[in-house]
Amino acid sequence: MDHWPKDVGIRAIHFVIPSLYVDQTELEQYDQVSEGKYTIGLGQKQMGFCTDLEDVNSLCLTAVSQLVENNGINYADIGRLEVGTETIIDKSKSVKTVLMKLFEPSGNFHVEGIDTTNACYGGTAALFNALSWMESSAWDGRLAVVVAADIAIYAKGNARPTGGAGAVAMLIGPNASLVIERGLRGTYMNHAYDFFKPDLTSEYPVVDGKLSIECYLNALDQCYKSYLSKCGDGANVDLNKFDSFVFHSPYCKLVQKSLARLYLNDFVNSGTKDENYPGLDRYKNVHLPSTFFDRDIEKTFMERSKTIYENKTKPSLLLASRVGNMYTASVYSGLVSYLVSLAPKDLPGKKIGVFSYGSGLASSMYSIRVVDNDLSSLIGNLKKGIDRLEERIRLTPEQFTEVLEVRQKSLHRAPYVPVSDKNQLFPGTWYLSSIDEMHRRYYERKE
């Protein structure tokens, strides 16, 4: 259709990771759990975390300002700004309004968009909002920016090693390098208490671990089914049609199980007669909803899909394994990781499947087509960010625990001045300088 803008999608990406991390092997020893529980059982190597100097506002300020600077964008050219986060620090004032601080010098205050919240899904909802605006009569021809950011921390216990933190900011517009395929979107929504944050005095969530896995895998099944129904040749679409598949990553091992789950779906969809699935006859009558915790099926299909996983999904887990769960930014850190795993010349023409999940629950699956619209610049900027992994400071599990205790004790205190060391922050990082007696937050930038 002639009236659609051409190749609408992601034109540039910038991601932000904490300057501090803890080693998961050391954390296993500190927590006195079995060797390999976090590193092999969960698939995690390191975990990034923030001190009391950083909150969701500062993460977003850093991500958006660096996205604009690195890509030579004028703030006046941005007509929509969307934020996805579940790290809520104010029940009324949005993060987006804080980010308008960056627009002041340009005099541009005509910027649509606001925050979107539902666990880890908010970033994807924000992206969809920006895309819809660009394809609507409200679009004024300007660009959109979407930023997803969270600080994922847990109380002491089994869930703590699945934490992390980070932000991903994306420039949305026509003539993009990463084109969102129009009309190919499957969505599944339902009501569940698998992970939620009812205690507004704490950053820690309530988690029903087993239910959360069941909800995630069921949502994956349902979104895949819905996505395939949107394909004109849906009966002939399977994992072979994708060059990569990236997933929301609470922890890396669940992503490997999820890729195997799609392979299981393909097997079921094939009618079990497909010659591509030899030796699986005993599973021909499998009922998907009864297999979420079937160890035999899980092991079998993980083994059978191992090569596909190694080629199409494992490259997307670089940031997830070394920084951890970024909640709303998690699936987009997977996209970043996949993109930097290949040479720019090998990317055009690739088709990337994306599965986004947020507890409670909300989920969607869509696909991206890579085209060479200044792709080398996008990849070059991302690789500079990847270099930061080696510039981080490793703290001991004891220091990590102390940082989380300071965060918890200082939460909602006013007035308050952060006590952590600003010298540990990366240059160009926005940080919380103080909170006054009226709970108003003030931010400065490290040069």
Q: Give the residue numbers annotated as catalytic, written as ranges.
A: 86, 120, 248
Residue 368 amino acid letter: I
The DSSP annotation for 59-109 comes to: HHHHHHHHHHHHTT--GGGEEEEEEE-S--S-SSS-HHHHHGGGGGGGT--
DSSP state string for 416-435: B---S-GGGSPTT-EEEEEE
Structure tokens at 195: 């992970």
Residue 35 to residue 17: CA distance in whole angstroms = 27
Residues 82, 116: contact at Cβ < 8 Å?
yes
Residues flagged as binding site: 158, 212, 253, 257
Q: Is 11 helix (H, G, I), strand (E, B) or coil?
A: strand
How far is residue 142's CA from residue 139's CA, in Å, rounded to a whole number? 7
Peptide bond into 53 cis (omega under 30): no
Q: Which residues, other chains included, contact 72 with Cβ-Cβ below 8 Å and sequence gap of 6+?
A: none
Q: Is the Cβ–Cβ distance between 82 and 130 less than 8 Å? A: yes
Q: What angle do CA 67, 70, 72 make, to 5 degrees?
A: 100
CA torsion sign for 388, 389, 395, 401 is positive
Residue with tokens 């958006």: 64
Sign of CA dihedral 272, 277, 282, 287: negative
Residues 6+ apart with CB under 8 A from 228: 186, 234, 237, 269
Binding-site residues from annotation for CoA: 158, 212, 253, 257
Going by their DSSP bridges, the two strands 244-247 and 351-358 should be labelled as parallel
